[in-house]
Amino acid sequence: MSRGVDLDGAAVVVTGASSGIGRAAAQRFAGRGANVVLAARGGPSLDAAAAECRAAGARAVAVPTDVADSEAVEALARRAVTAFGRIDVWVNAAAVMAYGAIGEVPVDVQRRIIEVNLLGTMQGARAALPVLKRQGRGVIINIASLYAKMTSPYVSAYATSKFGIVGFSEVLRQELKQDRGIHVCTILPGSIDTPIFRHAANYTGRTIKPVPPVSSPTRVARAVVRCAEHPRREVTVGQLHHLGSWGHALLPRTYSELAPLAMRFVALGKQPAPADDGNVFTPQPDLDAVRGGWPNRAARAAVGVGAVVAAAGALGALRRAVERAP
């Protein structure tokens, strides 16, 4: 296993730190003795997240930052070095999301999702790398998604951005082949109980919710911290959703027939909802927290996954039989 960072006294930058996975990761780093620089668009939730880290005994600095602004991300890196003299770990966790068919989601919303999720990750790595190279070591951790391994209707820009993060991370590893002390890790969470589903822009006309089973953000935070200490190329969080990615790879045509049904009947609620751009352009600090308040219906989800797998197998067998028929 690769040698990473000793977190006691380490300097860790976390973007998207006001809510969800970013906030959970910042808390966990603080609890392990790291100094933490928390970045998000600002407001009371970012200050509250920094206060939580200080309460855990860490030195913490809150830096209002829009990761879509390259100059702001460069300033974030400088602020981290000014505060703690170095950067040992940089976590790219900032993300926004939208639900809706491709023709229903406004172009400026689609563009903003790519700018925050994908370009924000690229700009974070770009800002951190000069510091890591001077030091000769460090870890960059990019939060992607299992949507980077499988597809789903109604989240086109989000899924595209996450596919891009996986590709970017691989390119970055290739470029850093000679910098053996610098590691690039990619985390692929499934459905996680964070506020992103309440924050998400919504143009479906119905309420939205995560596809169960819903995992705890603390599980993702543990994976992030483990990667900082013992870097791994890719880590998946949410094994039942991982089964879906296998189905996508093994039976792509069958998966494509089932995915729209799963989204319509599981991810979209029954209540009508007006079009709303969520927090894509403007923060919603009242909704910011580590958890989103989504119950974990693991048992029901396991039954549902079993049914989907069985249906996929049946459809696959039927298709093969038809293709073999004279």
- Amino acid at residue number 292: G
**Adjacent-strand bridge partners of 37:** 13, 61
- Pairing between β-strand 234-237 and β-strand 268-272 as defined by DSSP bridges: unpaired
**Adjacent-strand bridge partners of 106:** none
Query: Is 223 a member of any domain?
Result: yes
User: Domain range spanning residue 112?
Assistant: 11-324
Average per-residue pLDDT for the chain: 89
* Secondary structure (DSSP) of 1-60: -------TT-EEEEESTTSHHHHHHHHHHHHTT-EEEEEES-SHHHHHHHHHHHHTT--E
Interval 266-284 mean pLDDT: 95
Query: Is 6 a member of any domain?
Result: no
Annotated catalytic, 147?
A: no
Burial 257-272 (b: 16+ CB within 10 A, else e): ebbeebbeeebbeeee
Query: Is 5 a member of any domain?
Result: no
Radius of gyration of the chain (CA): 20
Query: Is 4 a member of any domain?
Result: no
The pLDDT value given to residue 288: 98
Q: Which residue has the higher pLDDT, 245 or 44?
A: 44
Is a pLDDT exceeding 60 seen at residue 318?
no
Total-model pTM = 0.89
**Adjacent-strand bridge partners of 11:** 35
Give the total number of structural domains in the chain: 1
Q: Which of 99, 158, 203, 255 is catalytic?
A: 158
Query: Is 296 a member of any domain?
Result: yes
Query: Is 40 a member of any domain?
Result: yes
Q: How confident is the model at residue 256 (pLDDT cuts 50, 70, 90)?
A: confident
> pLDDT, tens digit, for every residue of 119-149?
999 999 999 999 999 999 999 999 999 988 8
How many degrees, rounded to 5, is the angle at CA 171 between CA 121 and CA 197?
35
Q: 128-131 long-range CB contacts below 8 Å, 24 or more apart?
A: 128/13, 128/77, 128/87, 128/90, 129/182, 130/77, 131/77, 131/80, 131/81, 131/86, 131/87
The pLDDT value given to residue 157: 98
Question: CATH no. for residue 133?
Answer: 3.40.50.720
**Which ranges constitute the DSSP H helices of 85-139?**
107-113, 120-135
Query: Is 234 a member of any domain?
Result: yes
Helix (H) or strand (E) holding 278: none
Is a pLDDT exceeding 80 seen at residue 203?
yes
